């Protein structure tokens, strides 16, 4: 029987050789926003290893406060020629690549944020069970003004156009994990009394619409979001399927091609009374294809984030859950699978799984991040 993970997939102008997606993973190796030249071989190796689609880690859109820190790659200026080299290296090895575009906003993981990490919907820091160092609701910064909102939307559109001109096969808007867009989506951090508070999806939808109008009808636009926050794994934007559907509808109408659903474990049901995971529900409710994932190729015991820093522990390579993954893809619950740490650990993960050479899979080690 043919392996569901290695069936080709097409949507619009995007044609993939298989269902394997390298999750967006920022590497923080871009002094002044310019990606280190070693990014070329880093991504090239994952394409050589037969990864179908690579999603760049977060890149800062063309806005002065967008970057998480001074080592996050930009999607503008002097970073552009490096991205061109990266994309052509990936294409030359049969891969496809999508640029993830982000704005950090008040990223709640920074315990001592510098003053320039200032934009947020309501001036509220991300709070939650995974951190304990801030009382909920402490006002630190002024809420974004209407003019600041317009500037950020325009910056996303500019960077979308830049990514298209570089030759990326699509763009992904980073609406997950507590970054600025997620701060608008979450009721804890968006307590605005204007239209952006009454409709918390509005900011995201306006960004998507602006990007769609910049890049035209063909280029795939992915939207990544998560129910959980880096500061609160139990958080949910949609407590029920109906709430989730209400969140998704304006995004579909604005022009999303595919949703990238960030979940910490793909096998966990999103709501009671169904085995569907987040990507399964989003596909069903939105009618759009979805990417699901989380925990693929990692030993269960080494899955927990947070014990030695967010992603800072060794995770053994594992083939646990692969059959369940195949079954879910085969029955169309979701379309593509995103794989993060396992592909950091072994750039040839996809090829080895396709050929059955799984005994030689290399484990993920945090040192992979240190070039």
Ligand X SMILES: Cc1cc2nc3c(=O)[nH]c(=O)nc-3n(C[C@H](O)[C@H](O)[C@H](O)COP(=O)(O)O)c2cc1C
- CB under 6 A: which stretch of 45-53, 194-202, 204-212, 336-344 binds ligand X? 336-344
Which of 311, 313, 319, 365 touches ligand X by CB under 6 A? 311
Positions in 71-130 near ligand X (CB under 6 A): 100
Residue 250 as a binder of ligand X (CB under 6 A): the answer is no
Q: Is 25 in the site for ligand X (CB under 6 A)?
A: yes
Please select the residue that binds ligand X; options are 87, 173, 210, 339, rule is CB under 6 A: 339
Is residue 35 near ligand X by the rule CB under 6 A? no
- Residue 264, burial from CB neighbour count under 10 angstroms (0-12, 13-18, 19+): middle
Q: Is 24 in the site for ligand X (CB under 6 A)?
A: yes
Given candidates 18, 44, 58, 159, which one binds ligand X under the rule CB under 6 A?
Answer: 58
Instruction: State which of residues 120, 262, 277, 318 lies at the interface with ligand X (CB under 6 A).
Output: 262
Shortest separation between residue 140's beta carbon and ligand X, angstroms: 23
Tell me which of 16, 20, 26, 163 binds ligand X, using CB under 6 A.
26
Nearest C-alpha neighbor of 172 from the set 220, 126, 205, 137:
220
Binding mask 164-193 toward ligand X (x if CB under 6 A, else -) reads ----------x-xx----------------
Q: Which residue's CB is nearer to ligand X, number 96 or number 174?
A: 174
What is the smallest separation between the CB atom of 72 and ligand X, expressed in angstroms?
A: 8
Footprint of ligand X on 201-240 (CB under 6 A)? 224
- The end-to-end CA distance of the chain, in Å, is 40
d(CA 196, CA 43): 37
Contact region with ligand X (CB under 6 A), list: 128-136, 157-165, 295-303, 324-332: 295-303
Q: What CA–CA distance (Å, rounded) separates 184 from 250?
A: 14
Shortest distance in whole angstroms from residue 97 CB to ligand X? 14
Token pair 């993960």: residue: 349
Query: Minimum distance from CB of 273 to ligand X (Å)?
Result: 26
Q: Which residue has the tokens 């979701």?
A: 334
Cβ closest to ligand X, residue 143 vs residue 363: 363
> Among residues 143 and 293, whose Cβ is nearest to ligand X?
293
CA 15 – CA 39 distance, rounded (Å): 24
Nearer CB in complex with ligand X: 153/291? 291
Q: Closest residue (Cβ) to ligand X? A: 340
**Whole-number Å distance between alpha carbons of 219 and 276:** 29
Q: How far apart are CA 156 and CA 145, in angstroms?
A: 17
Binding positions for ligand X, rule: CB under 6 A:
23-26, 57-58, 100, 174, 176-177, 224, 262, 293-296, 298, 311, 339-342, 369
């Amino acid at each position: 029987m043919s392996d569901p993970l290695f069936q080709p997939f097409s949507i619009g102008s995007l044609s993939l050789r298989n269902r394997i997606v390298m999750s967006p993973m920022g590497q923080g190796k871009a002094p002044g926003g310019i990606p280190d030249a070693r990014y070329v071989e880093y991504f090239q190796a994952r394409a050589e290893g037969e990864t179908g689609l690579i999603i760049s880690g977060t890149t800062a859109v063309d806005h002065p406060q967008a970057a998480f820190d001074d080592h996050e790659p930009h999607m503008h200026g002097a970073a552009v020629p490096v991205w061109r080299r990266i994309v052509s290296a990936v294409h030359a090895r049969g891969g496809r690549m999508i640029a993830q575009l982000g704005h950090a906003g008040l990223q709640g993981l920074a315990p001592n944020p510098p003053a320039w990490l200032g934009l947020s919907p309501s001036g509220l820091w991300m709070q939650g069970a995974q951190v304990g160092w801030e009382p909920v609701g402490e006002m630190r910064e002024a809420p974004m003004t209407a003019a600041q909102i317009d500037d950020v939307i325009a910056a996303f559109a500019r960077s979308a156009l830049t990514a298209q001109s570089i030759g990326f096969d699509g763009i992904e808007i980073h609406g997950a994990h507590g970054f600025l867009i997620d701060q608008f989506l979450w009721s804890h951090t968006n307590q605005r009394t204007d239209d952006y508070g009454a409709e918390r999806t509005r900011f995201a939808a306006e960004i998507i619409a602006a990007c769609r109008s910049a890049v035209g009808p063909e280029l795939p636009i992915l939207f990544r979001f998560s129910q959980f926050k880096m500061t609160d794994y139990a958080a949910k934007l949609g407590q029920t399927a109906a709430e989730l559907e209400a969140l998704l509808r304006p995004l579909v109408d604005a022009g999303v091609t595919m949703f990238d659903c960030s979940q910490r474990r793909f096998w966990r049901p999103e709501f009671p009374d169904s085995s569907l995971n987040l990507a399964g529900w989003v596909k069903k409710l939105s009618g759009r294809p979805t990417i699901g994932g989380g925990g693929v190729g990692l030993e269960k015991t080494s899955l927990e984030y947070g014990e030695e820093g967010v992603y800072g522990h060794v995770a053994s390579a594992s083939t646990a859950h692969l059959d369940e993954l195949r079954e879910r893809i085969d029955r169309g619950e979701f379309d593509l699978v995103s794989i993060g740490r396992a592909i950091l650990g072994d750039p040839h993960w996809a090829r080895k799984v396709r050929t059955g050479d799984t005994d030689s899979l290399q484990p993920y080690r945090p040192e992979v991040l240190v070039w």
